[in-house]
Amino acid sequence: MNLIHGKRAYIKRGLLFAFNLLLACFWLAAAPRVMAGEPSSGLLVPDGLELGEMSYYDALEILKKNVEQRKRDFSVTVEIDDRTYGIIAEDINWDSDAAEVLSALIAGQAHPDGKKLETRHDIFGFTYDEAKLDRIIAEIYEDFVGCPPSGIVPKFDFETREFIFHPDFTGVTIDLEALKAELIKALEKQAHGMTDALIRLEPLEYTDVAKLGESYGLLGTYTTYTTNVANRNANIRLACETLSGTTVSSGEVFSYLGIIGNANAEKGYKIAGILVNGKAAQGYGGGICQVSSTMYNSVLEAGLKVVERWPHSSQVNYVPRGRDATVSYPNVDFKFENNTDDALYLMADYDNYALTISLYGKKAPREAPGEIASVGQG
């Protein structure tokens, strides 16, 4: 029994060996060359290499050497004013897959991205590390401008309420998007076999930093006054402390309840007077609607877009008619959108019965708030 199994296994191994031998012979006979015919049949790669009469491995070896030569010759120079920056292949891991290019040739003279590879100027497929390229762009920017890209946008100091530019910012910068676009074009030129790509970029001139700083400042502020009800004033103070120091990014929608949340005892809010269906009542957080109404008026003064606002169920006496904004967790909210090009910074102050909401950011021509209807919207 064992002997018969051994013979059968031997026969199977012999048949398998014979099949593999025939397959190898067929492959060697069918693919000793990249393509039969005249070398000028269109099988040209960059630099005019003719591969039509070569074996696969000979062609692959030539392509690999060609890629390595390209990597050694790779050179991109960026000139900005009197400063020069050089980039070589290893800085961004620039590379090309010779086997991928050759396989595409064998498959039908097609470039991996679908382009027909018919002339010596057709492009090699190439790869690079975009993260490394972005870091190089940031380094060029910081060296030329004197600070990182974030440095040309002033930071808001919540204590002094002033906008502060990076100390090394001179007021001159460069176009980051244009620089990256030109660098990518230069990478393609390298793939075409063109060495020593040169990029000349003109700096962008700004006014001096002092004048640029004048375009940032107070956008809108509004003050209302409270009574001497202790619990109500404590709630107003707590709401102001929660809101003050909030940053609203460009395009972001600010939600009052998103910051305040449920004004309950767990958060330290006290029972004070509230309005329910137009009638006086008592509840936790009484008084926070004066904060939202004050904020509403500050938003109007700043010319920002109101997204959601609801009036009280009866007239309140701390803002003009139609200029109030009630809130009730979780469904009745006050929201506005930062429709400026830069971040907004919110400050909320309560001192000596005076409640003030102020908004800081980049100044721009805005329409006056005008008349505000006393109807809810949202």
Give the tens place of pLDDT for each residue, 12-57. 555 555 555 554 444 444 443 444 333 323 344 545 566 666 677 7
CB-side exposure of 65: number of CA atoms within 13 Å? 8
pTM for this structure? 0.60
Which has the closest alpha carbon to 278: 321, 332, 314? 314
Q: Contact 172/206 with Cβ under 8 angstroms?
A: yes
pLDDT at residue number 124 = 59
- What are residue 169's phi and psi, to 5 degrees? -75, 125
Residues of the chain short of pLDDT 70, as ranges, are 1-54, 101, 104-125, 150-151, 191-196, 205-208, 365-378
What is the percent of the chain where pLDDT is above 90?
Answer: 44
pLDDT at residue number 44 = 41
Domain parsing of the chain, residue ranges:
31-214, 217-362
How many other CB atoms are there within 10 angstroms of residue 338's CB atom?
Answer: 22
Q: Contact 324/311 with Cβ under 8 angstroms?
A: yes
Which has the closest alpha carbon to 215: 205, 204, 207, 223? 207
Tell me whether strands 335-337 and 305-308 are parallel, antiparallel or unpaired: antiparallel
Three-state SS at 98:
helix
pLDDT at residue number 50 = 64
pLDDT at residue number 188 = 77
pLDDT at residue number 17 = 54
Q: Contact 355/224 with Cβ under 8 angstroms?
A: yes
Tell me whether strands 76-80 and 197-201 are parallel, antiparallel or unpaired: parallel
pLDDT at residue number 197 = 78
pLDDT at residue number 122 = 45
pLDDT at residue number 49 = 63
CA 18 from centre of chain: 60
pLDDT at residue number 60 = 81
pLDDT at residue number 71 = 84
Q: Contact 105/34 with Cβ under 8 angstroms?
A: yes
Size of the chain, expressed as the number of residues it contains: 378
- Nearest 5°: the CA angle 272, 275, 281 is 55
CA distances from 323 to 227, 253, 356 (A): 19, 20, 15
pLDDT at residue number 208 = 67
Give residue for tokens 């909320």.
Answer: 348
Q: Contact 305/339 with Cβ under 8 angstroms?
A: yes
Burial class (CB in 10 A: 0-12, 13-18, 19+), 42: middle
> Which positions ≥6 away from 6 have C-beta within 8 Å?
none
Q: Compute the Cα dihedral for 244, 245, 251, 257 and give only its sign.
A: negative
